[in-house]
Structure 1
Amino acid sequence: MARMNNKVALITGGASGIGLSSAQLMAKEGAKVVIADFNVEGAKEAAENIKAQGGEAAVVFVDAGNGDSIKEAVEFTVKKYGKITTLFNNVGLTNLKKDLDVVNMDLDEWDRLMNINLKSVLLGTRYAVPHMIEAGGGSIINTASMAGFASDAIRAAYGASKAGVVNLTRYIATQYGKYNIRSNTVAPGLILTPAAKNNMPAEVLDLFAKYNALPYHGEPEDIGYTVLFLASDESRFITGQTIQVEGGHYIANPTVPDFEQFSKMAQGK
C-alpha cells in the first residue's frame, strides 16, 4: 500500500463498473477515496466494502448534469480529507434509442450527452484545480471512449462528446501543467461492466470479439489499473495523453478477420 499514499481521490460514477474498480484499486494502494455517484446506496455499499478491506472511503451524491452538485462533491472531498489530489471524471451516458445518426437523432439528447459527458469534465476540473494548486499539484483523469476516435452507424452525440473529452484533456494539461497538475484520458473499448453484460446479447459480444486482437474482452479492472497508474506518481511525466485500452480492436485493417476466414475457405480448411 504505497503507490497512492497521501493522495485523496474523488471518483465520479464510482459505485459500479470502471469507477468502482478504480476506487478499490486506489484505496488498496493507500489513497483516501470519495465515491461520488447518483446511486448513493450503491456508493455506500462500495465504500463499506473498501473499509472492510482496510481502506478509507467516503460517499457523496453527485448529479453530473448539475454544476452545483459537482462543485459540492469537490468541496465535500476537501472538507472530509483536507485536500484533493486526484480527480477521476468518469461519468458518461449513452442512449441507443435517441442518439442516432445526425439526421434522425433527438437534439435534446445531443444537449443532454454534451452536458453530462463533456461539460461535467470541464466543471469537475474547474472546481478541483484551485484545490490541487493549493495542495501542490494533482492528477486529473478523464474517461473518454474509442467512440471518440472511430465512427459508428449511430451514437453521433456520444462519439462527439467523447472526442471533446480527449481534446479538453489536452487543454487542461497545457494550461495547468506549470502548477504540477497532470491531465490524461483513458479511452476504453468494449468493457464487460455490469451494464454491458446486462444489455448486450451474447451474439453482439461475439461480434466484437471477432475483431479483437486479443482473445477476450476487457474487464473493469483493465481500465482500473490504467487509471491507478495515471493517478500515481509513476506517471509523473505523462500529461495530455490518451491511453486506448481496447484489446487491439481498432489497430488492424478491419477486413483482417474476414480475410483470414476467406483464406481458410480457399485452402479448404
Structure 2
Amino acid sequence: MSKPALPGPHVGRFKDQVAIVTGGASGIGEATCRRLVAEGATVVVADVNAERAAALASELGPRASAQVFDAADVRSIERLVQGTVERFGRLDVLHNNAALSSPVIHAKDKNAIDIEFEVWDQVMAVNLRGYLAGCKYALPTMIAQGGGTIVNTASTGGFSGDITRMAYSVSKAAIIGLTRQIATHHGAQGVRCNAVAPGLVLTPGTRGAAASVIDVMQRHLLVPEFGEPEDIAALVCFLASGEARYINGQTYIADGGMLAHNPTMADLVDMAKSRKSS
C-alpha cells in the first residue's frame, strides 16, 4: 500500500492575516510556518535560534520574517508580540509551540523523588509560563480588533503517565487546562483558543531517537505510518482558520490512535497470533 499524500495547503485561507509561530524554525513550528505562508498569511518565525529562523524566513519570502526570542523570558515574549503588532498593525493567529528541548534538562527530568526543583522550574518557565505570556500579550490586540485565534501545542504526554520526563508531561497537561481557561474567559470576545496534542511525530529530533524505542511505539499505532510535522501543521491551520469557527477550548489528539485503545492491545494481538500459529 502506497503512503498517503500529506495534506496540501488551502490557498488564500489566511489572506491578509498576521501570525506568530513560536519555536517556528524547526519541526512542527517550521511546518506550520510553511503552511501559513502557503495559505496567504504574513508570518513571524519566532525562535531562540537566530540563524535557523532567519534562514527559514529568507526561504519563505517577503511574507515571512524572523524574530529571536526566549520563551523563558516574559519580557522577550512581550517584545515579540508588541513588535509584530507595531510592524503589521494586527495579530490574527498565535501558535504557541516553543518547548524546552535541552537534552541535559530532559535527562534530569525523571520522577518526583529525583527531579531537582531547578529543572522543574526551567521546564515550566518555557513550556507553560511562556504560553501564558504569549496569550497575555496577544489577547488585548485580538480583542480590540474583533477576534483572533490561539493554538497551543500540548502533547499526548499531558493525558497519560510515563516513566520519565515528569515535568514535561505535567506542563503539557497544564497547557490543556490553560487552553480551556483562555477559551472560557475570552471566547465571547471573539478569541478562540484550542490545542493540538501530538504523539510521536518524525521531527529531526525524534528521528534521532533509538530505533528500538520507535519500534516499540509503532506496535501501538492504529495507522500504517508515524506522523510528520506537516500532519500537525495541517491540524494547527485548520483550528486557526475560519473553518473551525465553532470549535473553542478543545484539545485534538494526533497520535495515530495510540491513546484510543487499551494499553495492552499490542501484546494481546501478539498473543492471539502466537496461539493461531501453534
The normalised TM-score by structure 2 is: 0.93
Q: Which sections of structure 1, spanning at least 5 residues, go unmatched?
A: none
Match of 1:104 among 94, 98, 114: 114
Secondary structure of 1:70's counterpart equals: helix
Match for residue 247 of structure 2?
A: 238
Indicate whether 1:152 and 2:162 are aligned.
Answer: yes
Query: CA–CA distance in 2 between the matches of 1:249 and 1:256?
Result: 10
The alpha carbon displacement at 1:22 in A equals 0.4
Match of 2:96 among 62, 85, 89: 89
Indicate whether 1:203 and 2:212 are aligned.
Answer: yes
Q: Which amino acid aligns with 2:49?
A: N
Identical columns (%): 42
Indicate whether 1:174 and 2:184 are aligned.
Answer: yes
The alpha carbon displacement at 1:35 in A equals 0.5
Q: Which amino acid aligns with 1:179?
A: Q
Q: Which amino acid aligns with 2:75?
A: D
TM alignment of 1:1-269, pairs within 5 A: 1-51=11-61, 56-93=63-100, 95-198=105-208, 200-268=209-277
The normalised TM-score by structure 1 is: 0.96
Q: Which amino acid aligns with 1:19?
A: G
Secondary structure of 1:185's counterpart equals: strand
- RMSD (Å), alpha carbons: 1.1
Q: Which sections of structure 2, spanning at least 5 residues, go unmatched?
A: 1-10
Per-residue deviation, residues 193-216 of structure 1 (Å, max 9, x unmatched): 111112x01111111101111121
Q: Which amino acid aligns with 1:225?
A: A
Q: How many residues align?
A: 265
Query: CA–CA distance in 2 between the matches of 1:90 and 1:49?
Result: 21
Query: CA–CA distance in 2 between the matches of 1:80 and 1:186?
Result: 28
Query: CA–CA distance in 2 between the matches of 1:235 and 1:22?
Result: 17
Per-residue deviation, residues 209-246 of structure 1 (Å, max 9, x unmatched): 01111121111001000001011111111100000010
Query: CA–CA distance in 1 between the matches of 2:68 and 2:106?
Result: 26
Q: Which amino acid aligns with 1:259?
A: L
Query: CA–CA distance in 2 between the matches of 1:76 and 1:43?
Result: 16
The alpha carbon displacement at 1:96 in A equals 3.0
The alpha carbon displacement at 1:74 in A equals 0.3
Per-residue deviation, residues 133-181 of structure 1 (Å, max 9, x unmatched): 1221000000000000010011111111111000011000011111100
The alpha carbon displacement at 1:50 in A equals 1.0
Secondary structure of 1:96's counterpart equals: helix
Query: CA–CA distance in 2 between the matches of 1:60 and 1:168?
Result: 25
Q: Which amino acid aligns with 2:256?
A: G
Secondary structure of 1:159's counterpart equals: helix
Q: Which amino acid aligns with 1:71?
A: E
Secondary structure of 2:277's counterpart equals: coil
